[in-house]
Amino acid sequence: MKKKTLYNKVDKELLKKKLEQEGVHRTTLSFYQYAHIKNPKEFRDHFYLILDEVDVLGRIYVSAEGVNGQISVPTPNLEVFRKTMDSVDFLEGIRLNIAIEDDGKSFIKLKIKVRNKIVADGLDDESFDVTKKGVHLTADKFNEITEDPDTIVIDMRNHYESEVGKFKMALTPDVETFREALPVVEDMLADKKDKNIVMYCTGGIRCEKASAYYKHKGFENVYQLEGGIIEYARQVEKLGLENKFIGKNFVFDERLGERISDEIISKCHQCGKACDDHTNCANEACHILFIQCADCATEYEATCSVKCKDFNKLEQEEKDKLKPKMEFNGTKFGKGRYKAHNQETDLDIKG
């Protein structure tokens, strides 16, 4: 009997075409769970097999501390998928964060990777108890506590996420990674340890670890938004609550964002027009993440600069020859740091 493949190595374009022709609606969702996994590699292979059986697509990280996944499931398979998750002891009854805006094309294949941690945080987990986390807040309790003048709301996401959407009253650290955010936020709140500290992120996983860390650091009243922005938006709509989130919720899949409110709080990085549509530069040698309006997408042919636009028109052989000698926005700036101040019209070649 042929051993089942535990990795999908089909060409990306073929996978996209297959998804478009699938003809079945998919539901995008996310989940996480901290747990003690003795053999992450063995669990990873088992998890791949059982999820592949119900045609799950997406990206999942497995480590000794648990699992973290963003996936899509054929909607008719949702009940079977829930039973599949329940078959894993520590995932039984797990909360699934269902996407707000969903075209069903968020992922094109299933990838499950073993990592040292399910979220890179740079923390020494042996130095504090990760189970002593902050108080979880439902949407109504979040709205209530944020009316208190002694409450400070902290966005635990990266700057390119909060750039397009955030809670109205939130402090938004100018960071590129969660690892970077932890000490920055600690410094910001150093003299506010007696205040109500309310944290939020996309689906809750970053706050789960951060809340335990800050309690260990001496913060007295630590809270986190249960289920993150995704669950908040769902509860607000269901219960008819005031929506305190403005703009888009950035997501780490093909959609790159889901609208939570009508406000547009960011601008196109190329022309400055109101816009909150993230994209990756179409020049694969650059691939920088940035905000681009429809007009600039047409003018620059979905690239971030004239240099990238011109480079994309070259034959592949010429691209391969020039690529090692060239510097693009994606090789010079971090995620979302590009602000359209590098619009060369020639293909500069480094010495």
Residues marked active site are found at 201
- 275 and 291 Cβ atoms separated by less than 8 Å: yes
Angle, helices 205-216 vs 178-188, to 10°: value is 40
Q: Fill in the amino acid letter for 203.
A: G
Rounded to whole angstroms, the Cα distance separating 312 from 284 reads 9
Rounded to whole angstroms, the Cα distance separating 328 from 153 reads 36
Strand partners, 154: 171, 199
**How many other C-beta atoms lie within 10 A of the C-beta of residue 239?**
10
- 224 and 206 Cβ atoms separated by less than 8 Å: no
Listed residue (236, 51, 73, 205) closest to 140, CA to CA = 236
